[in-house]
Amino acid sequence: MAPKVSVPIYQTIYRLGSLYSVYRVVIAFCLIVIFLISLENQQTHYLYPSLYFYSIAAFTVISALQMMLLRFFPHGISKQFIGFFIIDVPFLSLLVFALSGPNLSISILFVITIFSANFLLSKNQALFITLISVIAIIYQQFLGSFFDFSNLNNISNSALLAFLFFIVYGIGQIAIKRFQVLESLNTYQSLELFKLQNINRYILEQIEVGYVVIDDKFKIVVSNPAACQLLGISPLYAYEQYYLSEFQSDLYEILKDAMIRDEERFQFESHQSTYTVDIRIQKLVVPHQALTLLVLEDAQRINQKVQQLKLAALGQLSASIAHEIRNPLAAIVQANELYLGSNPEQQTLLHQMISKQAVRINAIIKDTLDMAKNKKVDARRINLSEFIHDLLASDLNDAQEKIKVEIEAEIRVYFDDLQLRQVLINLIRNALRHNDEHAEFILIQAYHTQSHVCIDVIDYGNGVTEQNISKLFTPFYSTEITGTGLGLYLSQTICEANQAKLMYIEQKQQGACFRIECPLID
């Protein structure tokens, strides 16, 4: 019995068998033509001319019938293939006998037959055909030597030919194994590709955005149901390939003109749907193909998304302004409470503090709006020692005793004065809130490395948990119930605008460290 094979391998073997059946008919026809051409020298070339001719004639008729049977009745092909070789081996043996011994041309035909048997039959069946061929060659030469001693010279040729048959059988088995491996790999890759196509199709069906891929002749290669809905056509177009001009002639004309003018985007109102469709044109880089991707979206939905983004940006900007003015407002309220019970000298200081904080509130609003407009910052050379001591005295007067400062001498950075003040106040206030209740102070360090100036704000609280580190600088994320989650986000944005970095540094022991890293200046 032939081995069980998969459907693709079965089809391949059937095609090979069909080719072999055609080859048999062509060979038989060619042998008849050669025989008729050499009629005058029959005695020279043929020992038994009549046997040679009738064998070829019979083989031609039988081969033609077997070819027609395989063509019109492709059932039980294994048995039909066995029938091929049951005819071929006796036929070739008769030709060898009629030619009085092994002949180069007939030997090649034997070799082709044995090699083909490896592909069309099972391993044991191919071996059986090989052995029969060997016996047919050796036996008739051995038998002929008893009657004609001149045939003794052909025995060695026959033995050599028999050895060649076994070599061809071995090569054929190796080839068929390689063929089966490649066929199995091809089948596996085809199945994986089919699965991938199904996954891609499923993904396209779930996407709300419409996608249409067309070739250079405006034939639809790929589309999804969302595109069909937006264009008001049957979903069947998502699974079949049609020309765009067949079902959307208006879109075809507009698209053709847009591509000529190299337009990348336009809007289209389909008469077959109620949508105004926003269409984006993108060229796809595909080897040996000129493909274009059309991205289709509902124009009304796009406008709604834009409005939502504007409202979100406005809300974020408003919340950021409210967050930033909270600190100076607190200073104004505190100064106002102390104002009534203070002496004239203190009132003057408190009045100056209120005025300064009011100016600062105005500056914060202005700077936040400038940041939203992506305005350039006013970076200046700042002496950190003088700047931080002024910051503590002016903006953090109530917390000076809880802050320890360690600053290397003559350290300077390029930074916007007001924005650096905003960032440090945010970081210091956060550190004070999260500091351990038993800790005496938080630490502010300023020092330089080989390429940067670092400003560290360190507390000795519980630090930041691992799951929260990745969310530290995310807008509106806060671990405090009353927090807006904008302090660190805005501080990071300000640092980036000033060519600096704000980062969280994990501490080996207790506490948290936020570091402002600025480029080193001369």
Instruction: Band the pLDDT of 152: cuts 50, 70, 90.
Output: very low
Q: How confident is the model at residue 344 (pLDDT cuts 50, 70, 90)?
A: confident
Answer whether 129's CB lies under 8 Å from 85's CB. yes
Residue 441 counted as domain residue: yes
Indicate whether 139 pLDDT > 70: no
Q: Lowest-pLDDT range, 13-17, 138-142, 166-170, 452-456?
A: 138-142
Higher pLDDT among residues 274 and 483, named by residue: 274
Residue 414 has pLDDT above 50, yes or no: yes
Q: What does the pLDDT look like over 241-282, one tens digit per residue?
A: 678 887 778 888 888 888 888 888 888 887 777 888 888 888
Question: If you search the block for the tokens 């210091």, which residue do you land on?
Answer: 428
Does residue 72 lie in a domain region?
yes
Tokens standing for residue 107? 């030997």
Find the mean pLDDT for residues 81-104. Answer: 79
**Mean pLDDT for the stretch of residues 486-493:** 79
CA–CA separation, 241 and 219 (whole Å): 7
CB atoms within 10 A of CB 150: 10
40 and 127 in a single domain? The answer is yes
Q: Is the same domain home to 37 and 94?
A: yes
Residues 115 and 225 in one domain: no
Please state, in angstroms and as integers, the Cα–Cα distance from residue 83 to each residue in 78, 79, 211, following that order.
9, 6, 55
Is 382 within the bounds of a domain?
A: yes
CATH of the domain at 495: 3.30.565.10
Is residue 114 located within the same domain as residue 77? yes
pLDDT for position 480: 61
Whether the pLDDT of residue 147 is over 80: the answer is no
Structural domain ending residue among the three candidates 300, 320, 338: 300
- Give the highest mean pLDDT range of 288-292, 382-386, 475-479: 382-386
What percentage of the chain exceeds 70 in pLDDT? 80
Confidence of residue 516 (pLDDT cuts 50, 70, 90): very high
Q: Which amino acid is at 508?
A: K
pLDDT at 370 over 60: no
Give the position of tokens 């039988």: 62
pTM summary value: 0.39
For residue 483, pLDDT over 60 is answered with no
Whether residues 413 and 502 fall in one domain: yes
Hey, CA dihedral for 480, 485, 486, 487, is it positive or negative? positive
Structural domain contains residue 497? yes
Domain edge (last residue) among 186, 217, 246: 186
Q: Are residues 123 and 45 in the same domain?
A: yes
For the cut 50, the answer to whether the pLDDT of residue 481 exceeds it is no
Strands 379-383, 276-286: parallel, antiparallel or unpaired by DSSP?
Answer: unpaired
pLDDT attached to residue 236: 62
Structure confidence at residue 31 as a pLDDT band (50, 70, 90): confident
pLDDT at residue 150, as a whole number: 46
CA dist., res. 233 & res. 306, Å (int): 28
- Torsion angles phi and psi, residue 515, rounded to 5: -120, 130
Is position 329 within any domain?
no
When mean pLDDT is compared across 184-188, 313-317, 329-333, the lowest value belongs to 313-317
Above 80 in pLDDT, residue 501?
yes
Q: How many other C-beta atoms are found inside a 10 Å radius of the C-beta of residue 393?
A: 10
**Can you give the pLDDT at residue 445?**
92
- Label residue 457 by pLDDT band (50, 70, 90): very high
Tell me what pLDDT residue 517 has.
92
- Of these ranges, 117-121, 301-305, 389-393, the one predicted with the greatest mean pLDDT is 389-393
Amino acid 453: pLDDT: 92
For residues 143 and 232, membership in a common domain is answered with no
Task: Map tokens 């905003």 to a residue.
Answer: 422
Residue 315 within a domain: no
Do 488 and 391 belong together in one domain?
yes
Residue 141: inside a domain: yes
Residues 23 and 127 placed together within one structural domain of the fold: yes
Report the domain count for the chain.
3
pLDDT in tens, 214-248: 888 888 888 888 888 888 877 665 556 678 887 77
Q: How far apart are CA 469 and CA 465, in angstroms?
A: 6
Predicted confidence band at 106 (pLDDT cuts at 50, 70, 90)? confident
Residues above pLDDT 90, as percent of the chain: 7
Q: Give dist(CA 126, CA 196) in Å, integer.
A: 39
In this prediction, residue 497 carries a pLDDT of: 85
Residue 193 burial class via C-beta count within 10 angstroms: exposed 0-12, middle 13-18, buried 19 and up? exposed
Do 122 and 3 meet the contact criterion of CB atoms below 8 Å apart? yes
Q: Are residues 149 and 69 in the same domain?
A: yes
- Asked whether residue 351 carries a pLDDT value surpassing 70, the answer given is yes
Long-range contacts, 247-254 (Cβ 8 Å, 24+): 248/272, 252/218
Whether the predicted pLDDT of 412 surpasses 60: yes
Give yes or no for residue 455 having a pLDDT over 90: yes
Last residue of a domain, one of 269, 300, 331: 300
**What CATH number corresponds to the domain at position 247?**
3.30.450.20
Mean pLDDT, to the nearest integer, of 170-175? 72
150 and 66: one domain? yes
Angle between helices 77-98 and 7-37 (to 10 degrees): 20
Asked whether residue 1 carries a pLDDT value surpassing 50, the answer given is: no
Q: Which domain holds residue 504?
A: 377-519
Is there a single domain that holds both residue 213 and residue 166? Answer: no
Structural domain includes residue 341? no
